Structure 1
């Protein structure tokens, strides 16, 4: 596993594909500021995902056919598509892994929302894109990342 930001990691490439993941329960516990409200936490998590994605595509920018695949119940389809991802059918094994780890997912989601928050695993989606497709959307991702950084900074100054 390789961290690209404190809340974004990936597996080593295998068969032309990189599987990406959000941070672990421990990452959420130790990285997210306990003073933040749910919105601040969600913004920070999303910003860290974007930061990690930008670092990942920078590392693999010359391998344009490398595929990136991730599964999430958080990211909405419209945003994923704006970043160059296509929605794929989530395979049975991935759903089983999420179900098996439901307690950890519940705690992570609750930390993110700053309240008890049951994740809706029915909203689980798998996203996939070639590096080249994401590179085409790099400017959009950078703007979104910068906007979230500013939002986080401004909310801390209130």
Structure 2
């Protein structure tokens, strides 16, 4: 897995997290001061919430990986531990986008790379769980469209209310992630966010197609 953060030494990782923590605390403290002097306390609350949503992945994801609660199948394909036979998948976080995506890539290359890493991780997941026919995969994405998802074995399902609330709370996080993915300021359209699910058997049936698509995209990198 080519992930610049995890390739660093523990001392380097700690220094990076210390810088992020210091900057975050500084921003929050200044927002509180401004709120007190202006009397508009909503400013402090909003900046605190936005800052927290942006920096959380930089601390949560490494911690969850270390504890084994999430697993990487590629640099931009993560899974949570199974619950009641359901595995939640994630196509990379802001933390991963920042440390994985090559800054020299243009917008199209970045989007293709994200999808390619998603497919590569999916193939690794299929290989590891090919004998476990009871597993169901569930995930939400604004990168992969419904047509592509259906071609690789997923079906679209209703996004639950809690997930919509989480997405709304993380809007600025998604804004930065989407802008990194497109290499330009790109406001995410949350109404286009889709939730997909599939049985592992359905993915196995589409494995050859996924492999072809992955190889096709991988040739560009």
What is the distance in 2 between the residues matched to 1:22 and 1:102?
A: 16
CA RMSD of aligned residues (A): 0.8
Structure 2 spans left out of the alignment, 5+ residues: 1-69
Aligned to 2:37: none
Q: 1:17 aligns with which of 71, 86, 89?
A: 86
What is the distance in 1 between the residues matched to 2:143 and 2:115?
A: 9
Aligned to 1:141: 210
More helix per residue: 1 or 2? Answer: 2
Structure 1 spans left out of the alignment, 5+ residues: 154-158
More strand per residue: 1 or 2? Answer: 1
Q: Which has the larger radius of gyration?
A: 2
User: 1:59 deviation in Å?
Assistant: 1.0
Aligned to 1:100: 169
User: 1:65 deviation in Å?
Assistant: 2.1
Aligned to 2:200: 131
Aligned to 1:56: 125
What is the distance in 2 between the residues matched to 1:44 and 1:8?
A: 12
Higher relative contact order (CA 8 A, sep 6+): 1
Structure 1 runs, 4 residues or longer, greater than 3 Å off: none
* TM-score calculated relative to the size of structure 1: 0.94
Report the secondary structure of 1:28's partner residue.
helix
Aligned to 2:107: 38
User: 1:24 deviation in Å?
Assistant: 1.6
* TM-score calculated relative to the size of structure 2: 0.68
User: 1:26 deviation in Å?
Assistant: 1.6
1:58-79 deviation digits (Å, cap 9, x = unpaired):
1111111200000112211111
What is the distance in 1 between the residues matched to 2:82 and 2:206?
A: 22
Q: Within 5 A, what are the aligned runs for 1:59-98?
A: 59-98=128-167
User: 1:99 deviation in Å?
Assistant: 0.8
Aligned to 1:27: 96
